Structure 1
Amino acid sequence: MTSTVDVGDARLAYTETGAGSPVVWLHGSGPGATGLSNFGGNLAAFPDYRNIVIDLPGWGGSPRPETDEPLIFHAADRVCRAMASLGVERAHLVGNSYGGAVAMRIAMRYPDSVDRLVLMAPGGVLPADAPPWPAGLERLFAYMAAEKPSREAMAEFVRLMVFDESLATGELIDERFESSLRVHPELPIPPNFGDLTPDLSLIGAATLLVWGREDQTVPLAWAGKILEGIPDAELRVLPHCRHWVQYERAPEFNHIVREFLQGGAAAAAEG
């Protein structure tokens, strides 16, 4: 069941499952994205963790912020406020795309609140030659810019997120389309997400990067700068997979993430 948490200037929607060490799940910025649309199919594999799945400001059940601050920076501060309100002093962070960028920003600014980081093709770090934008980002920005988004535009976007287009089901497309109409971000195109590149070396948390080899939204070629910039980072690449790693390759993703989280600070202390 979805609840809300006070973050000072708004209430963010979130869903909580399981019990144990906290894991905060942070979704991407695609049209119609919510915490559960990104991670609902993964949570059953983590019943021994306290899973807090947040709708970031402007998506899902969380209101669009009125701010000139870069979106990644704004969202990171609100996630930290949400953690404090929920009594979470320290957590693993799992972030997809935009949510991965938010997780990195938290690790840079609030290192004591972060145990381990799992980042699936995170945003916030662009190559020097962007734009032009990859096809997935072009579709994302076009959908955000549309005055009257269409279901077909959503279908085209969803099909670009997966390597196996049979996973772009009508049910999934309908769910994302209806969600996008409830909270359709009115943002400059491209949005002012913010640049994390200068501060990558500030991330002290052990970090797992997970990438789909055929990602057409945040391409694998962009991984190098992040991998080199974060001192304690490793990269896992899944073939025959695009941007939605946690959806398209859920069993492998769940196994990889569980294995990584079990090597966190708590496990080391017990050893």
Structure 2
Amino acid sequence: MTSTLDVGDAELAYADTGSGHPVVWLHGSGPGATGMSNFGGNLPAFQDFRNIVVDLPGWGNSPRPDTDEPLIFHAADRVVRALETFGIERTHLVGNSYGGAVAMRIAMRYPGLVDRIVLMAPGGVLPADAPPWPVGLEHLFGYMAAEKPSRDAMAKFVRLMVFDETLATEDLIDERYESSLRAHPELPIPPNFGDLTPDLRLIGAPTLLVWGRDDQTVPLSWAPRILHGIPNAELRVLPDCRHWVQYERAPEFNHIVREFLQGGIAATEG
């Protein structure tokens, strides 16, 4: 069940489950993405944390604002306003793809708010030779550009997100397709996400990068720029896995992330 929060010039839909040290979960920018579609299957393993799962502006049940600001920058500030409303003074951040970029932006601008960060193949940092785009981003941008995208286009997109295509179930494709029609983003292609590269050094929080070795959307070859740009970053690479690490390799992901976040709590309390 999601609720809606007024953050001044925008409304954010969110789910709030569990209790304990806060964790904010930030989803990717793929068509039909929502906070719960990205992370709902992981939350049962994290019920000893307070899990705030956000629909970022323009996705899910959060309306798209009228802004010329880069999407990453705009979303980060609205998430921070939500946390201020909740009275949260310090939190972990877990972000997938676009949501990972939003998490990095929050850590750059509001370092006192952030305990530890988990980033799954985050966006916001491009190699010097992009474009051309990886095949996953080509399909994402193509879907966004279509006046009325087809279910077949969604099926192709979802299959690119996983190494094991049996995980691209008909139910999952239907769910993502129907969600994309309710909140189809009206964006320039490629969207103006914003560039975080110059400020990576400002991220002081311990950071865990998690990557699927076979990612065809934000490829592993893009990881070193982030790994070496963030002073306190480490990288875990999962084989036989593409972009949706938290979905395709959920048990390993849950274990890795819990271990990392619990270290954050111990460090904070110690």
Category of TM-score, reference length = shorter chain: over 0.9
CA distance in structure 2 between the partners assigned to 1:257 and 1:215 by the alignment: 19
2:266 alignment counterpart: 267
Aligned ranges for residues 193-232 of structure 1 at < 5 Å?
193-232=193-232
CA distance in structure 1 between the partners assigned to 2:176 and 2:268 by the alignment: 42
CA distance in structure 1 between the partners assigned to 2:247 and 2:85 by the alignment: 29
Q: Which amino acid aligns with 1:95?
A: G
User: Structure 1 residues 170, 263: CA separation in 2 closer, same or farther (over 3 Å shift)?
Assistant: same
CA distance in structure 2 between the partners assigned to 1:270 and 1:7 by the alignment: 30
CA distance in structure 1 between the partners assigned to 2:253 and 2:268 by the alignment: 25
1:72-107, CA deviations, whole angstroms, 9 ceiling, x for partnerless residues?
A: 000000000011111211100000000000000000
2:179 alignment counterpart: 179
Q: Which amino acid aligns with 2:99?
A: G
CA distance in structure 1 between the partners assigned to 2:150 and 2:203 by the alignment: 40
CA distance in structure 1 between the partners assigned to 2:46 and 2:101 by the alignment: 22
Q: Secondary structure at the residue paired with 1:122?
A: coil
Q: Is 136-145 or 82-91 further displaced after alignment?
A: 82-91
1:57 alignment counterpart: 57
CA distance in structure 2 between the partners assigned to 1:163 and 1:129 by the alignment: 25
CA distance in structure 2 between the partners assigned to 1:243 and 1:44 by the alignment: 21
Return the offset for 1:270.
Answer: 3.7
1:2-49, CA deviations, whole angstroms, 9 ceiling, x for partnerless residues?
A: 001111012100001100000000000000000000000000000100
User: Structure 1 residues 139, 42: CA separation in 2 closer, same or farther (over 3 Å shift)?
Assistant: same
TM-score (norm 1): 0.99
CA distance in structure 1 between the partners assigned to 2:67 and 2:11 by the alignment: 15
Q: Which amino acid aligns with 2:96?
A: N
CA distance in structure 1 between the partners assigned to 2:88 and 2:98 by the alignment: 22
Q: Which amino acid aligns with 2:214?
A: E
CA distance in structure 2 between the partners assigned to 1:109 and 1:31 by the alignment: 28
CA distance in structure 2 between the partners assigned to 1:249 and 1:97 by the alignment: 16
Q: Which amino acid aligns with 1:33?
A: A
CA distance in structure 2 between the partners assigned to 1:160 and 1:95 by the alignment: 19
1:111 alignment counterpart: 111
Q: Secondary structure at the residue paired with 2:237?
A: strand
Root mean square deviation of aligned Cα:
0.6
CA distance in structure 1 between the partners assigned to 2:164 and 2:19 by the alignment: 34
User: Structure 1 residues 269, 11: CA separation in 2 closer, same or farther (over 3 Å shift)?
Assistant: closer
Which blocks of at least 5 consecutive residues in structure 2 are unaligned?
none
Aligned ranges for residues 105-184 of structure 1 at < 5 Å?
105-184=105-184
Q: Secondary structure at the residue paired with 2:64?
A: coil
CA distance in structure 1 between the partners assigned to 2:65 and 2:7 by the alignment: 12
CA distance in structure 2 between the partners assigned to 1:72 and 1:10 by the alignment: 15
CA distance in structure 2 between the partners assigned to 1:149 and 1:17 by the alignment: 33
CA distance in structure 2 between the partners assigned to 1:209 and 1:182 by the alignment: 32
Q: Sequence identity, in percent?
A: 84
CA distance in structure 2 between the partners assigned to 1:198 and 1:166 by the alignment: 39
Aligned ranges for residues 87-98 of structure 1 at < 5 Å?
87-98=87-98
**Contact 1:6 1:85 (8 Å CA) reproduced:** no
Q: Secondary structure at the residue paired with 2:25?
A: strand
TM-score (norm 2): 0.99
